[in-house]
């Protein structure tokens, strides 16, 4: 590698060095296609938008804890570390003594660092477990539907986490049907790091061999143009109807693999009967699906026939399931692959998440990586991650999930580290009211995100560039010695130092730290891994000092090309799935027994319950951004270069733009039933007519919004989206779609304020 300090990120390994002009970042030389997101890294080493010292919200400091409508608009006061930590520890004691650990929410989403020790989620959970536990979240915003559904259908989450390898697709697949596409922008990122970006190259190699691609998406650029894909510009939210119609073609034309259905599936008779109209009296023909999907019946019929002619891989992006009733397209894709009889064959079957992240379809180490122990959770109380606003707004109320009837706990103290719910969550005005309902909100943040601005206590924390760590991911092929690139800015401390100080004040300091500094922990975790899991796996890893000197350690390749469910296919009796039947469940008696009309026992068509109308005539696609990971480093060079008129881009088909009298580059207003935001218009024929596309991750700016008469003046699309679960089965995120209208913004757009330091009186909290 080049000169500089080795480091890693979720979007790639690199070296960084401090220069008079700032931090210079150089991609890892072994990376065939480095991510442009590396261009955002340097801004983290500047004071822009940084929390440079701990702060407290004036209302909380002066009036004490309690629900407060000023949260999110109140001024902040700087305060000394010891004084603030004393106050936070006192609040912890109050809440635990009066209400118990079930009144504390330990929030974290895990994307703050690629390092194994400075993993904020592990840190905050270890801390809470030392105190008797806390309420935590279960599942993810990204693929919560699959995390709940797949165990019912195939017995585990393997299709999400470790499906058939890309190398198998490259070598054997004849036809890839990509629902939601295989967007290169998403494959540039992988949790824990990705040192070689290979997805685009694998796809090119498959195409060069002769593989064909069909893109099923409202966005043409969800698959690279060089793959020469057939584009089915489907109506958003209609994927399940398309898949069911394809299944109907296989059934009526006898193109299905009856032997596979008999040997390897359960409930096929119920599902096949539903295609013929059992239950609702409607045959799921291509003619039935055509007006729902916007795809001609003949094209649907021909696609089903093409799928039956060769080795076919059906892929469903995480985004397709991140919708209302998102369980249905995912389950229907499994059914289609099962009817084709190709599950368990090289290059065939199905997957969920190919190119939704760079790790899916890559190696998956069979041994643990260095991990900070979190201790057992004494409380074991979870809520679905996408239901945090419900919990804060409706304490004690019942809800259903995965066959269980639960009640939301009464959360009084929210302690958030390593996450930004004002990015991930939907209906941000509702989330704002939810945060205002808490009694105390404590946030660890390097940056003045909206989560920090809606907190009572903002603990200034370091970025990954200011710490040492071991970077590793189970999808990656090396460990990176992440060195400190520059010292902490201002008074920032790492999460471990903050939690250690709180733990000491609460009487659990020794248990939390075990007497080790952060640097000692990093070495301990590495050596524990080297002499334990690595040694048992036959990996001869260098000692820690040698690892640091080398900057990285290459892991041995996995021995065999992964083909998901190959053993099961060969012998279902010897290698059964962990479902009640031991087979793929095309009809699940378990799910049917839950009695959910929004997720019955087999794949069905459920029409979206928010459709365009006269007031909101356009369909919004709120997808992942191409210029940053989630909302991270939105003020970085790559992210800022992608803005239009200083706002988040809004893409609209030329015919729609012309009908609305809108021009490329213009500042526009998007409105839904929940909120409104500004954006910068991009006119593009890569978007289906009647569709608006705007990516998530622009920082929520209600200050500029108020000046413009909208909810957000910068372009956070989640002021428009709905905060409602996918169904009672998964209660997962549905932030992909909404009904909206677009109109010209009249007047001069206000200045964006989200990267400014917050309003403060100039006095310290101690001064009153």
* Rounded mean pLDDT, 126-142: 96
pLDDT of residue 764 exceeding 80: no
DSSP for 22-56 reads EEEEEE-TT-SS--GGGGGGGGGGSSTTB--S-EE
Tell me the pairing of strands 55-57 and 584-585. Answer: unpaired
* Rounded mean pLDDT, 350-360: 93
Rounded to 10 deg, the angle between the 495-505 and 120-130 helix axes is 10
**Segment 49-70, tens digit of pLDDT:** 999 999 999 999 999 999 999 9
Q: Match 């969920």 to its residue by tokens.
A: 352
> 768: pLDDT confidence band, cut at 50, 70 and 90?
very low
**Active-site residue, 109 included:** yes
> 767: pLDDT confidence band, cut at 50, 70 and 90?
very low
**Active-site residue, 81 included:** no
> CB neighbours of 247 closer than 8 A, spacing ≥ 6?
275, 284, 304, 332, 335, 336, 339
DSSP for 239-256 reads HHHHHHHHHHHHHHTT-S
Q: Side-chain half-sphere of 254: how many Cα atoms within 13 Å?
A: 0
> 762: pLDDT confidence band, cut at 50, 70 and 90?
very low
Q: How many CB atoms lie within 10 A of CB 570?
A: 10
Q: Match 């069905």 to its residue by tokens.
A: 604
Catalytic residue among 109, 318, 496, 521: 109
DSSP for 692-709 reads EE--S-SPP-HHHHHHHT
**Segment 271-280, tens digit of pLDDT:** 999 999 999 9
- What letters, b where the CB count within 10 A reaches 16 and e where it falls short, cover 460-498? bbbbbbbbbbbbbbbbbbbbbbbbbbbebbeebbbbbbb
Instruction: Strand 55-57: give its sheet, edge to edge.
Output: 76-78, 55-57, 457-460, 440-445, 413-417, 104-107
Residue 730 and residue 139 in contact, taking contact as beta carbons nearer than 8 Å: yes
Closest CA to 451 of 120, 43, 727: 120
Residue 2: per-residue pLDDT = 62
Q: Which helix (H) or strand (E) holds 384?
A: strand 382-384
Closest CA to 327 of 614, 726, 26, 6: 726
CA distance linking residue 253 with residue 528, whole number of Å:
59
pLDDT of residue 209 exceeding 80: yes
- What letters, b where the CB count within 10 A reaches 16 and e where it falls short, cover 171-200? bbbbbbbbbbbbbbbbbbbbbbbbbbbbbb
Determine the 3-state secondary structure of 401 from DSSP.
strand
Residue 760: per-residue pLDDT = 64
Q: What are phi and psi of 437, to 5 degrees?
A: -80, -15
Q: Match 């585990």 to its residue by tokens.
A: 156
> CB neighbours of 60 closer than 8 A, spacing ≥ 6?
68, 71, 74, 440, 456, 457
Q: Evaluate whether the domain defined by 618-744 bears CATH number 2.40.40.20.
A: yes
CA distance linking residue 56 with residue 62, whole number of Å:
10
Residue 217 and residue 181 in contact, taking contact as beta carbons nearer than 8 Å: yes
> 330: pLDDT confidence band, cut at 50, 70 and 90?
very high
Determine the CATH number of domain 55-138+377-471+478-554. Answer: 3.40.50.740
Catalytic residue among 111, 141, 231, 318: 111
* Rounded mean pLDDT, 440-446: 98
Residue 483: per-residue pLDDT = 96
Mean pLDDT taken over the chain = 96
Determine the CATH number of domain 144-364+570-594. Answer: 3.40.228.10
* Rounded mean pLDDT, 719-737: 97
**Segment 605-648, tens digit of pLDDT:** 999 999 999 999 999 999 999 999 999 999 999 999 999 999 99
DSSP for 272-340 reads HHHHTTTTTS----HHHHHHHHS--HHHHHHHHHHHHHS-EEEEE-HHHHSSTTTHHHHHHHHHHHHHH
Cα 374–chain centre separation: 23
pLDDT of residue 763 exceeding 80: no
Closest CA to 64 of 439, 455, 414, 452: 439
Domain ranges of the chain: 5-45, 55-138+377-471+478-554, 144-364+570-594, 618-744
Closest CA to 223 of 214, 210, 211: 214
- Alpha-carbon Rg for the chain, nearest whole angstrom, is 26
Q: Side-chain half-sphere of 265: how many Cα atoms within 13 Å?
A: 29
> 766: pLDDT confidence band, cut at 50, 70 and 90?
very low
* Rounded mean pLDDT, 237-244: 98
* Rounded mean pLDDT, 580-602: 98
Residue 761: per-residue pLDDT = 54
pLDDT of residue 132 exceeding 60: yes
């Amino acid at each position: 590698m080049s000169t500089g300090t080795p480091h890693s990120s979720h979007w790639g390994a690199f070296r960084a060095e401090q220069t008079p002009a700032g931090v210079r970042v150089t991609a890892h030389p072994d990376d065939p296609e480095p991510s442009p997101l590396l261009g955002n890294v340097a801004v983290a080493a500047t004071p822009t938008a940084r929390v440079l010292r701990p702060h407290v919200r004036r209302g909380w400091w002066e009036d004490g804890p309690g629900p407060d409508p000023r949260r999110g608009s109140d001024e902040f006061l700087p305060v000394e570390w010891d004084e603030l930590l004393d106050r936070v520890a006192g609040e912890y004691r109050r809440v635990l003594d009066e209400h118990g650990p079930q009144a504390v929410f330990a929030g974290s989403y895990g994307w703050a660092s690629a390092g194994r020790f400075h993993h904020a989620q592990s840190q905050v959970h270890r801390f809470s477990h030392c105190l008797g536990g806390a309420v935590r979240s279960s599942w993810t915003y990204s693929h919560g539907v699959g995390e709940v559904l797949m165990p019912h259908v195939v017995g585990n989450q393997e299709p999400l986490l470790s499906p058939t390898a890309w190398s198998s697709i490259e070598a054997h697949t004849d036809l890839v049907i990509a629902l939601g596409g295989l967007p290169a922008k998403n494959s540039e990122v992988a949790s824990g790091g990705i040192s070689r970006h290979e997805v685009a190259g694998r796809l090119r190699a498959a195409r060069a061999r002769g593989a064909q691609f069909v893109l099923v998406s409202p966005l043409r650029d969800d698959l690279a143009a060089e793959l020469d894909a057939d584009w089915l510009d489907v109506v958003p939210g209609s994927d399940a109807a398309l898949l069911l119609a394809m299944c109907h073609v296989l059934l009526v034309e006898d193109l299905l693999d009856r032997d596979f259905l008999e040997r390897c599936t359960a409930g096929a008779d119920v599902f096949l009967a539903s295609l013929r109209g059992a239950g609702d009296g409607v045959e799921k023909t291509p003619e039935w699906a055509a007006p729902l999907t916007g795809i001609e019946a003949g094209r649907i019929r021909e696609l089903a026939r093409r799928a039956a002619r060769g080795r076919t891989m059906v892929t469903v992006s995480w985004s397709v399931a991140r919708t209302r009733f998102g369980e249905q397209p995912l389950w229907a894709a499994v059914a289609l692959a099962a009817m084709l009889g190709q599950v368990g064959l090289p290059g065939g079957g199905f997957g969920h998440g190919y190119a939704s992240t760079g790790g899916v379809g890559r190696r998956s180490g069979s041994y643990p990586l260095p991990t900070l122990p979190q201790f057992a959770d004494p409380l074991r109380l979870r809520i679905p991650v996408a239901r945090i606003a419900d919990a804060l707004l409706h304490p004690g109320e019942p809800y259903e999930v995965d066959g269980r009837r639960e009640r939301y706990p009464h959360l009084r103290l929210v302690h958030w580290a390593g996450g930004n719910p004002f990015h991930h969550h939907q209906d941000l005005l509702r989330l704002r009211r939810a945060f205002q309902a808490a009694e105390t909100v404590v946030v660890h943040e390097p940056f003045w995100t909206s989560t920090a601005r809606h907190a009572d206590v903002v603990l200034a924390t370091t970025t990954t560039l200011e710490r040492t760590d071991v970077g590793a991911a189970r999808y990656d092929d090396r460990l990176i010695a992440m060195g400190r690139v520059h010292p902490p800015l201002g008074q920032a401390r790492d999460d471990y130092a903050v939690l250690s100080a709180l733990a000491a004040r609460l009487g659990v300091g020794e248990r939390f730290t075990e007497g080790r500094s952060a640097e000692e922990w990093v070495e301990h975790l590495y050596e524990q891994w080297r002499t334990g899991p690595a040694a048992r796996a036959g990996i001869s890893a260098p000692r820690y000092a040698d690892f640091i000197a080398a900057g990285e350690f290459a892991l041995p390749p996995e021995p065999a090309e992964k083909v998901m469910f190959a053993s099961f296919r060969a012998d279902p009796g010897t290698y059964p799935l962990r479902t009640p039947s031991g087979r793929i469940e095309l009809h699940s008696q378990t799910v049917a027994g839950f009695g959910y009309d929004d997720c019955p026992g087999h794949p069905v068509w459920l029409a979206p319950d928010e459709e365009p109308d006269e007031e909101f005539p356009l369909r919004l696609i709120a997808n992942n951004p191409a210029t940053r990971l989630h909302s991270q480093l939105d003020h970085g060079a790559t992210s800022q270069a992608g803005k239009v008129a200083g706002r988040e881009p809004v893409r609209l088909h030329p015919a729609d733009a012309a009908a609305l009298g809108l021009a490329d580059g213009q500042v526009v207003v998007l409105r839904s039933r929940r909120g409104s935001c500004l954006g910068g218009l991009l006119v593009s024929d890569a978007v289906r007519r009647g569709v608006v596309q705007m990516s998530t991750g622009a920082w929520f700016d209600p200050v500029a919004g108020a000046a413009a008469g909208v909810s957000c003046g910068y372009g956070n699309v989640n002021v428009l989206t709905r905060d409602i679960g996918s169904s009672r089965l998964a209660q997962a995120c549905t932030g992909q779609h909404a009904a909206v209208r677009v109109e010209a913004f009249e007047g001069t757009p206000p200045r964006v304020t989200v990267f400014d330091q917050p309003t403060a009186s100039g006095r310290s909290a101690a001064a009153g």
